[in-house]
Structure 1
Amino acid sequence: MKLQVLTTVDEILSQIEMIKFLYPNMTKERYESFLSDMIPKNYKQVAVFSEDKCIGLTGFWFGTKLWTGKYLEIDNFIVHPDYRKNGIGKLLTNFIDEKAKELNCTCVVLDAFTGNFDAHRFYYNQGYVPRGFHFIKTIDEKGYS
């Protein structure tokens, strides 16, 4: 297995099938539009490959907030269903931890949907703890994937 950082629209777009595990209705055009907006704002992905097949990936970006200072945020953490419980997620979180240290971040943050108990268990096992609630107010339901 090898880790690869994906930084361009084309590199990231080539792994759209992994994104479809989370967002089955995501179109290539919509994904490309989102990536064109996100990449200039420090967005990247790291992918795990077994030979030429992507079996895990997560997006990440970093910034600064008043409550944390510099932080790194995990975004859309995915392990291919056929490869779960094989250490792929741990490879990704280890990479994220090292990247956060390299960027002098104070913490790594993420959102997990409230009903995604498998993800909650995984993140607890990786040392993450809930710090608060992430509230949303939907303005345009058609904007969701």
Structure 2
Amino acid sequence: MTVTFKIIDKEYIDAIVPLVQKLNGNQVSNHVLKQRFLEMFSQNYECAGVFNGEKLIGISGLWFCTRHYSGKSVEPDHVFIDDAYRGKGLGKLFFEWIYNYAKLKGYESVELNTYVNNYPSHKFYYNQGFKILGYHFFKKL
């Protein structure tokens, strides 16, 4: 297996959307997801990919901002590694790449959200040195 990590251009949305669908269980249509991703790419958003050769096997959105409590911060979002590639240490390697990428861009901290019932992710993020600072609240308008 030859694994590489790189930023994915917005022209490749059609490769990103199926992985996001797997993560979220088809809660949002492909059409709506494509529209949302196009808008996200116009904001402080990038998408990083994990590739096995030419095949996209994992993704993470990266939101860049400055916050009063953390300084220049990157927020990994919709992190997903395809089922067939889990348990091989790729998540750890991917996050090391994300940390280095963010540092090269001048960012100093990482924060993220994860679903309450996604227990495997909790263990992973604890092992990566993350601490829980609060609760994420959501309200649909």
Q: TM-score, normalised by structure 1?
A: 0.87
Which amino acid counterpart does residue 19 of structure 1 have in structure 2?
V
1:36-84 deviation per Cα after TM superposition (whole angstroms, max 9, x unaligned): 2111112111111112222211111201111222100101000111111
How far is the alpha carbon of 1:114 from its aligned partner? 1.1
In 2, Cα distance between equivalents of 1:103 and 1:15? 23
In 1, Cα distance between equivalents of 2:135 and 2:58? 27
Runs of 4+ in 1 over 4 A off after TM superposition: none
In 2, Cα distance between equivalents of 1:52 and 1:7? 14
1:99 maps to 101
2:38 maps to 36
CA RMSD of aligned residues (A): 1.4
1:5-41 deviation per Cα after TM superposition (whole angstroms, max 9, x unaligned): 1131x21332322111112323331111101211111
In 1, Cα distance between equivalents of 2:9 and 2:75? 16
1:88-116 deviation per Cα after TM superposition (whole angstroms, max 9, x unaligned): 11121011111221222231010011111
2:125 maps to 123
- Structure 2, unmatched stretches of 5+, are none
In 2, Cα distance between equivalents of 1:32 and 1:21? 15
In 1, Cα distance between equivalents of 2:127 and 2:44? 27
In 2, Cα distance between equivalents of 1:11 and 1:55? 14
Alignment partner for residue 49 of structure 2, among 40, 47, 50? 47
- Structure 1, unmatched stretches of 5+, are 140-145
SS in 1 for 2:101: helix
2:85 maps to 83
SS in 2 for 1:21: helix
In 1, Cα distance between equivalents of 2:16 and 2:38? 15
In 1, Cα distance between equivalents of 2:40 and 2:112? 16
What percentage of aligned pairs have identical amino acids? 30
Query: Contact 1:58 / 1:74 at 8 angstroms: preserved in 2?
Result: yes
How far is the alpha carbon of 1:4 from its aligned partner? 2.2
Instruction: Describe how 1:9-24 pairs up with structure 2 within 5 A.
Output: 10-24=11-25
Instruction: Indicate the larger mover: 99-108 or 118-127.
Output: 99-108
1:143 maps to none
Query: Contact 1:46 / 1:92 at 8 angstroms: preserved in 2?
Result: no
In 2, Cα distance between equivalents of 1:71 and 1:90? 19
